[in-house]
Homo-oligomer: A and B are copies of this chain.
Amino acid sequence: MKTYFPNIEKIKYEGKDSKKPLSFKFYNPDEIVMGKTMADHLRFAVCYWHTFKGTGSDPFGPGTIVRDFASASDPMVQAEETLYAAFEFFTKLGVKFWCFHDRDIAPEADNLTETNARLDKIVAIAKKLQSDNGMQLLWGTTNAFSNPRFMNGAGTNPSPEVFAYAASQIKKAIEVTKELGGLGYVFWGGREGYETLLNTNMGRELDHLAMLMKMAVDHKNKIGFTGQFYIEPKPKEPTKHQYDFDAGNCLAFLRKYDLINDFKLNIEANHATLAGHTFQHELEMSAINGALGSIDANRGDEMLGWDTDQFPTNIYDTTMAMYTVLKHGGLTTGGLNFDAKLRRASTDITDLFHAHIGGMDAFARGLKIAAKLQEDGVFENIITQRYAGWDKDLGQKIETGKMDFDALEKFTIENGEPIVQSGHQEMLENILNTYI
């Protein structure tokens, strides 16, 4: 059988002192952490778009990356070869999940019928490859933002014909996700936002978007797809203003249109920081709203104002992310999807392995540190102590609704100035550093 990575063997765990670049130093899939294997905690997924379709192009230059599997001139042959290469990559890397947009795996044709036929053909191959390699689809999705027809939006398009086209794509994408046993389906509305308010009816566009989501839920139920639906927040880019700005804005939307029980969130690190939040903040915000679904594991560059989609390597970030994930019970349907791309100048095929290994090791390390922090009760004990008043008389009366403003004023007048305690932030940051 043809191989696309001939000089690469299956990546193995060799421990932190290994000097072999193409090995895991920290990610040991079968190692038990807090009662589960690392693989079960982390549920790594490779994304198809960046990893197999990325070329290194940017607004100032075309692609720099040339791949054997993308060399065929017939787009369907190219699609098949890329699919085989992908599964070879998954296997050699040792991940169990993948994610894709419909258009990543099968090229669009001149009309929807033919486009769908092409997709079906590739999906059939993918289904067999999944089965042969023990792979699962973490989530599927449609690309309703690249084609010029979506330049003014998909579900929020001023034209209902484009809405219909987007709905048709989503329908098919949900169906192939079901066919592949996908655990979830993501909505990222790349052009669901506006370029200028001068030509935009924001209220009506959001009503339409909600209608699209309701139809998707209905279709999901109709066909018996049991995967989880996710919305992925992003504040800006490609549009000037994306409606799904951040977790809070998505939750406001989901609650307004009574969709809160049908969707969770897919939080991306780089989208969080573009919105002015830390990655952990967005995870925590999702979790306390019962909406922590899945994670796009990447990182941005804090000095840059666009979506750099870099592979995650910052141990502080992976630690705090996994800390919040563990605190809230771990990932269930979701996973850690590397929505990350090689730098434009990382043109070697080995760079693709280095990049994923680095991301997996960074999260493995974050998991282990976070687990140790949890097991030692480091911050939880301090937090419990800090809020102890709320577990006592006054606190409990307030929490259970037994106090009103009159009673609280009476309490304050009788008790005078409350004692105020240091937040000890610097000490806590030092403690964190002893675990890093």
Contacts and interface: CB of A to CB of B under 8 A. Distances in A.
A11 to B, nearest CB: 12
A351 B424 contact: yes
A56 B151 contact: yes
A154 B196 CA distance: 37
When all copies of this chain in the complex are counted, the total is 4
A196 B301 CA distance: 11
Contact of A343 (B214, B351, B358, B425): B425
Interface in A235-291: 235-238, 240-241, 245-246, 248-249, 251-253, 255-256, 273-278, 280-281, 284-285, 287-289
A436 interface: yes
A395 B163 CA distance: 9
A201 B58 contact: no
A421 B157 CA distance: 11
A430 interface: yes
A412 B112 contact: yes
A222 B428 CA distance: 44
Interface stretch (A67-75, A77-85, A124-132, A403-411): A403-411
A136 interface: no
Nearest to A409: B168
Given A25-B434, A58-B238, A256-B289, A148 B64 contact: yes
A175 to B, nearest CB: 9
Interface stretch (A179-187, A309-317, A329-337): A309-317
A197 interface: yes
Nearest to A255: B255
Interface string A96-135: 0000000000000001110000000000000000000000
A64 B63 CA distance: 19
Contacts of A305: 274, 304-306
Interface stretch (A2-10, A31-39, A383-391): A383-391
Nearest to A175: B405
A427 interface: yes
B235 A276 contact: yes
Given A383-B201, A416-B111, A395 B238 contact: no
Most buried by B among A195, A362, A390: A390
Given A306-B305, A412-B112, A387 B422 contact: no
Contacts of A344: 151, 195, 238
A225 to B, nearest CB: 12
Chain A to chain B: the 4 pairs with minimum beta-carbon distance, closest first: A305-B305, A248-B249, A161-B418, A302-B302
A343 to B, nearest CB: 5
A231 B277 CA distance: 21
A167 B395 CA distance: 13
Interface residues of A, number: 158
Nearest to A190: B60
A354 B426 contact: yes
A367 interface: no
Which secondary structure dominates where chain A touches chain B?
A: helix
Given A197-B320, A200-B383, 8 more contacts: A164-B398, A195-B345, A201-B383, A208-B390, A248-B249, A351-B424, A351-B426, A354-B424
Contacts of A191: 60
A127 to B, nearest CB: 22
B164 A432 contact: no
A429 B284 contact: no
16 contacts: A63-B148, A111-B416, A152-B423, A158-B386, A158-B387, A162-B420, A165-B418, A168-B412, A199-B424, A201-B387, A202-B285, A302-B303, A343-B426, A351-B422, A354-B430, A358-B427
A236 B418 contact: no
A401 B222 CA distance: 16
Nearest to A396: B160
A159 interface: yes
A210 B262 CA distance: 24
Most buried by B among A216, A346, A361: A346
Given A416-B111, A429-B313, A160 B389 contact: yes
